[in-house]
């Protein structure tokens, strides 16, 4: 299958490679010309055969809106736009409505996998009309992990990004729990090998997970996380999860507390946030701040 891919950063570039490795033809465009297969969005569209599919992997908000507005002018009826970034689900509804007026389909895809997705595959949570989702099945099959899991058509437009938002909210709370446990272990005199305690949990315990494996990786690189500043950003999806919980009267005490802990990390050098920062760097390649800058 042929597809256009806009945005060739840490995620988009690896997705292009994974799709090509599966035998698909990918025309990529990025503002960095060294990464691009096309000189412009117009050139990308011109290189694609109808009906065209263009997958957008750029930051949420204005950058995504700009690309979709431009594609609306360039694409034709029966073409399809996929937003695979971390857009808010309410934006999906607006984008679908705007594109449908021109006969262009829209699919939202929540994508999880970070910098490990090229090797392990990407978990995909997809929203949109069945007609457009079915058309993209070869692409989804190539991107997802091997095996029966890792892909879901979650529902109508917006469902994919809503599901990914909740996924990230849960991720916030899980990382916070590991970080709090790590800080407590580091604080007591009786435990003198915290890293190996974490490693011992990787097999046979109910709290084993990929995040735990990544925590051990981080501790192997910097045993007491002394090189990191206790500061962690939030992507926005944690905030949206809490807002959605309020709108739907659903109590989310653990996720809400984990979000507020990130806010607290910006006020002082939090030990727990060293672990959060380390985990975000391990799974997503997110930037960290050196302790020397504090």
Do residues 141 and 256 share a domain? no
State residue 122's pLDDT score.
97
Q: Which residues are CB-neighbours of 69 under 8 A, at least 6 positions away?
A: none
Contact (CB, 8 A) for 271 and 186: yes
Number of separate domains in the chain: 2
- Whether 30 is covered by a domain: the verdict is yes
Cα–Cα distances in Å, from 184 out to 39, 268, 294?
Answer: 53, 18, 22
**Residue 286, domain member (yes or no):** no
Contacts of 170 (CB under 8 A, 6+ apart): 255
Instruction: Give domain status of residue 211, yes or no.
Output: yes
* Whole-number pLDDT of residue 283: 85
Per-residue pLDDT of the chain (294 residues; tens, 9 = 90+): 999 999 999 899 999 999 999 999 999 999 999 999 999 999 999 999 999 999 999 999 999 999 999 999 999 999 999 999 999 999 999 999 999 999 999 999 999 988 889 999 999 999 999 999 999 999 999 999 999 999 999 999 999 999 999 999 999 999 999 999 999 999 999 999 999 999 999 999 999 999 999 999 999 999 999 998 888 888 788 999 999 999 999 999 999 999 998 888 776 777 888 888 889 888 877 777 777 654
Residue 169 shares a structural domain with residue 152: no
**Looking at 139, 156, 173, which one is the last position of a domain?**
156
What pLDDT, on the 0 to 100 scale, is given for residue 123?
Answer: 97
| Same domain for 42 and 13 | yes
Do 86 and 137 reside in the same domain of the chain?
Answer: yes
278 within domain boundaries? no
Which of 156, 189, 207 is the endpoint of a domain? Answer: 156
Q: Is residue 217 part of a domain?
A: yes
Q: Domain residues for 221?
A: 165-266
Quick one: 25 and 171 in the same domain? no
Active-site residue flag, 171: yes
Instruction: Give pLDDT, residue 292.
Output: 62
* One domain for residues 140 and 181: no
Catalytic residue among 131, 144, 146, 171: 171
* Catalytic-labelled residue, pool 76, 156, 164, 293: 164
Note the pLDDT of residue 270: 78
Q: Is residue 279 part of a domain?
A: no
262 and 145 both lie in a single domain: no
**Same structural domain, 90 and 171:** no
Quick one: 63 and 91 in the same domain? yes
Indicate whether 273 belongs to any domain: no
Domain boundary among 156, 181, 211: 156
Q: Are residues 7 and 148 in the same domain?
A: yes
Instruction: State the greatest distance between any 2 C-alpha atoms of the chain, in Å, as a whole number.
Output: 68
Q: Considering the domain boundaries, does residue 49 fall inside one?
A: yes
| pLDDT of res. 236 | 83
For residues 6 and 152, state if they share a domain: yes
CATH code, 195 = 1.10.1040.10
Alpha-carbon span 136 to 121, nearest angstrom:
16
Same domain, 96 and 116: yes
Say whether 221 is catalytic. no
pTM (2 d.p.) = 0.87
Per-residue confidence (pLDDT) for residue 293, from 0 to 100: 53
């Amino acid at each position: 299958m042929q597809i256009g891919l806009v945005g060739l950063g840490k995620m988009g570039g690896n997705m292009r490679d994974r799709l090509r490795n599966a035998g698909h033809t990918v025309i990529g465009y990025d503002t960095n010309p060294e990464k691009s297969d096309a000189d412009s969005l117009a050139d990308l569209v011109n290189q694609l055969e109808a009906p065209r599919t263009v997958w957008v992997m750029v930051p949420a908000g204005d950058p995504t809106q700009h690309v979709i507005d431009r594609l609306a002018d360039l694409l034709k009826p029966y073409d399809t736009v996929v937003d695979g970034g971390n857009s808010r689900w309410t934006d999906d509804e607006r984008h679908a409505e705007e594109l449908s007026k021109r006969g262009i389909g829209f699919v939202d895809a929540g994508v999880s996998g970070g910098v490990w997705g090229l090797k392990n595959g990407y978990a995909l949570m997809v929203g949109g009309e069945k007609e457009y989702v079915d058309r993209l099945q070869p692409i989804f099959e190539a991107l997802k992990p091997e095996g029966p899991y890792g892909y879901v058509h979650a529902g109508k437009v917006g469902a994919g990004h809503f599901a990914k938002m909740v996924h990230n909210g849960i991720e916030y709370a899980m990382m916070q729990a590991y970080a709090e446990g790590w800080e407590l272990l580091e604080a007591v005199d009786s435990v003198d090998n915290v890293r190996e305690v974490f490693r011992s949990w990787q097999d046979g315990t109910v709290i084993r997970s990929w995040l735990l494996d990544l925590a051990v990786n981080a501790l192997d690189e910097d045993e007491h996380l002394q090189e990191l500043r206790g500061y962690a950003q939030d992507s926005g999806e944690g905030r949206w999860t809490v807002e959605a919980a309020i709108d739907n009267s659903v109590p989310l005490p653990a996720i809400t507390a984990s979000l507020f802990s990130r806010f607290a990390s910006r006020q002082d050098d939090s030990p727990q946030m060293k672990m959060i920062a380390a985990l975000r760097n391990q799974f997503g390649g997110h930037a960290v701040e050196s302790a020397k800058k504090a």
